[in-house]
Amino acid sequence: MKKILIAAAVVVIGVIIYAFTGNKEDKTERKDAPAKELVMQMTKDLYQKEIADLNNTKEFKYKGKKPAIIDFYADWCGPCRQVAPLLKDLAKEYQDKIIVYRVNVDNERELATTLGIQSLPTIVFIPMKGDPQAIVGSAGKDTFKKAIEEVLLGKPAK
């Protein structure tokens, strides 16, 4: 009986330790990351300030100084969790050329609804001129790189 109680206590302690230390990648900053966040969390107010006027439904007019990507995601979404590290890598690779934002649709429901986001993940590519384009669902790094090069940076298709 004593051995069972000790084993149960070890399991409980292990679960508690894991709960407080598990998945450190999301909770701690990488040592090689610059002081500025590579992927910025987007809110409705930030969208209004940096991207476009939500009240102007007739014409999209981008306010940003660099092309942008907006990743609409949810923490519970498996494909969203697969896309997140790819976008973080691309944000680092293209950090002087583009800006990458993330919108947690559970926290920013009004913004997601106003923009018509219905499936997750939805990744929106916003060029300096022209209309935004989106990829709905998970995609590979090569697909995202091609969209960045062609849609955001205006390089011809290969």
- Which is it for the CA torsion 114, 116, 119, 121, positive or negative? negative
* H-assigned helices in 94-131: 109-114
* Catalytic-role residue among 42, 52, 69, 80: 80
User: Are 67 and 91 in contact, with CB atoms under 8 Å apart?
Assistant: no
Active-site residue, selected from the candidate residues 52, 69, 77, 83: 77
What are the backbone dihedrals phi and psi of residue 146, each rounded to the nearest 5 degrees, phi first?
Answer: -60, -45
62 is catalytic: no
Annotated catalytic residue 41: no
The span from the CA of 147 to the CA of 31, in Å, is 29
Active site residues: 77, 80
